[in-house]
Chain A
């Protein structure tokens, strides 16, 4: 076997592996139901799935940032308020409406009221982590340290009080 054939086989292996991963993922998504696009974060309102927040949604939103006072790092991303308003009618959100952002892999969650989330001074926002997942951060006292952040967010729940 010459070098060219070996290289072609390696290229085929790469393509097959990529195809298998994407194929299996498409199958898994198919069995979960068509309502959630790939890579989306589901948003539930009173226990009912209303939308999936997708990576494409981020392009529609303006970015904001603040310097984390504990670690001195710049947290940059999208306000949770803007993310919610893309999919949930503002009239359904009362000041005491509870919003829970959670991560199943980290087994962490943060519960906030709409009054806290909607105030831009609180900077309740998603920062894009280095590995490309969303991390909920804020200047609020209950969400301003690494232990309190919700890394790898995969669910947003909105519940009437």
Chain B
């Protein structure tokens, strides 16, 4: 009897879980004194883009976002509660997935830059909507909404570009040929 093949292999799931953990670790460890909303997007959008390139299936980025959101929620990260953290991290993945679904070429630098921008914009939208409902600010008080929004877009784009460059470097180093043997 033919068994139905799982959408993600166990190896891919392990890889995605590791990327999710890396997103959370980067958020904790890679702190920069930029004092601009969204600046951490440089690191974690890069990781999400690399994850979506290493496991090139729709849903990979969403799974990384959801898993990192659950981990971050349990660790008490984020200033506005676990629900805000879970939704915003998940939306990073969903936004990236939707962007990659539209543009398809996961190693094109323009595509990764735009995917990073859209993914990070998804996080901004969640925080903005929840902020409007609950009154929680998002860097608007000191910097104004437009500057906060520009921060998210720019840092998301930089993260996407960094992720795209990392994917290119991994391909050059033969990582994808190595992965093809493993899965």
Contacts and interface: CB of A to CB of B under 8 A. Distances in A.
Interface in B90-135: 99, 102-105, 108, 110-111, 114-115, 117-118, 121, 124-125, 128, 132, 134-135
A10 to B, nearest CB: 5
Contacts of B79: 131, 151-152
B6 to A, nearest CB: 29
Q: Which of A17, A104, A132, A152 has the most CB of B within 10 A?
A: A132
Contacts of A129: 35
Contact of B125 (A21, A104, A132): A21
A38 B139 contact: no
B138 interface: yes
A77 to B, nearest CB: 10
A129 B136 CA distance: 14
Q: Which of A9, A18, A104 has the most CB of B within 10 A?
A: A18
Nearest to B38: A131
Contacts of B134: 105
B72 interface: no
A39 B140 contact: yes
A60 interface: no
A30 to B, nearest CB: 14
Contact of B35 (A18, A39, A128): A128
B45 interface: no
Nearest to A129: B35
B153 interface: yes
A25 interface: yes
Given A11-B114, A14-B118, A21-B128, A133 B137 contact: yes
Contacts, number: 105
Interface string A12-23: 011001100110
Nearest to A135: B142
Q: What range describes how many residues of B lie at the interface?
A: 35 or more
Interface string B142-163: 1111111101010000000000
B80 interface: yes
A52 B111 CA distance: 41
A95 interface: no
Given A3-B108, A17-B121, A18-B149, A10 B99 contact: yes
B129 to A, nearest CB: 10
A129 B138 CA distance: 11
A11 B153 CA distance: 12
Contacts of B110: 7
B37 interface: yes
A127 to B, nearest CB: 9
B31 interface: yes
B141 interface: yes
B70 to A, nearest CB: 22
Interface string A55-67: 1001000000000
Contacts of B37: 131-132
Given A14-B153, A132-B36, A39 B141 contact: yes
Given A3-B108, A131-B138, 5 more contacts: A17-B121, A39-B141, A39-B143, A132-B139, A152-B141
